[in-house]
Structure 1
Amino acid sequence: MDHTVGMNAAVALMAALHRRRRTARGAHVDVAAREVAASLIGDQLLLAAAGGQPARSGNAHPRMSPHGVYRAAGEDRWLALAIENDARWQAFVRVAGVPDDPRFRSEEGRRVHAEAVDALISEWALRQDATQAAAALQKSGIAAHVSWTTPELAADSHLRERRAIVPVSEPDGTVRAAVGVPMRLSKGQEIGIVRGTPALGEHEDYVFGEILQIGREERRRLEDEQVIY
């Protein structure tokens, strides 16, 4: 939610600036975090307003079954799996080598017997290497992937190629991974993080001097009075 509040505030600010440039009139920008959070659950709010009863669904899907994350072989290894139609289910049966239960051959049947479907896949997944199983399922057109740990995400070559994960340098020279900016521009310089967190007080001269235009004497007085640190 915090990131989404910032995004909405930035978009609102840009809209206000655009309006000022066109009309020479300013604007008051009001972005409430609680209201942004409410906008993220609009479907549940509509369901409640229509007399329905919102409920926690976890990894379940209102139509697809199976649709979940299943424990695989090894310590803390998990396989995410979603099967969208009957053809994909038959592909799963062939790849996984599980029984072709007549109850599960239709979308409706799998939804009605969702607990039995999950039990079947859970038993199968426990015997599988998550990475190998995901690769085999993907090859057959099935939506599947390992539920990665943070280090695995940070090391992913595709995310790094897309600069969704970028290397940044800390003031002490340490290089670490950071989340990149999720947008690309066709022209102009690349945007996003190029370095790590600034050192404590690193930009004080720039902020107090260049931006706020506070002279050295005035700044020293404010520091002595502990107005600024």
Structure 2
Amino acid sequence: MAASGSDSVKDLFEPTKVASLISADDAPQFLQDHGFFYQEIPEIGKLVTDLFSTNRAKGEEATLDHFKPTLRADPRLRRILDCYPETGRLQSPWGIVPKAYYSWNNPLPEVDSAVIAYMLGPQSQCRCKDGSHRRKFRVEKVDEDGTRHLPDEFLEEYLERSIIMIEGGVLLVHPVLGHRTETGRSIILDAWTTQTARDQLFVKNTT
């Protein structure tokens, strides 16, 4: 990875983006290592706002393909998306879960083939537990929104990373990563490495 041994890990995480020293070639491995990747993109924020303001956030246009041209203009995101070419079944407007860390699945080999994409509107704030996608514990209870709320005491060993998207952007997370959305609204989508992986296991659609 582009970061040298003298670089502090915390320097990789800026409030609005993964630090630029992480190159496009490094971006997929960064996602695998930390469980998330994020980038402020004002145009994404505008697209999200438009879909919500015109009551289309649940409609046919609120798909990953709708956002891909903007996402792929960023070399790092394009490189990540190339690893997940298959569109999934998860498509839903999303609000906030400010008081609990949650994940979309339990540790399973199959979920390593997926990524959950939050298209974030303006004034969005999120928190991620760095590396918690490698957790060993399971949470069997599935909440009404399709997520699994994770006990705080089980996440204490993982560092908290704060994300602030004043103008909107994208947050990509591994399905097992502990994270939470604190302000703003978004549209959640999923993508997979292969069609076979997608068909074997998919994340529940909350709509």
With normalisation by structure 1, the TM-score equals: 0.18
Between Structure 1 and Structure 2, the one with more strand by share is 2
**Larger relative contact order (C-alpha < 8 A, sep ≥ 6)?**
2
With normalisation by structure 2, the TM-score equals: 0.20
User: Which entry has the higher C-alpha Rg, 1 or 2?
Assistant: 1
Between Structure 1 and Structure 2, the one with more helix by share is 1
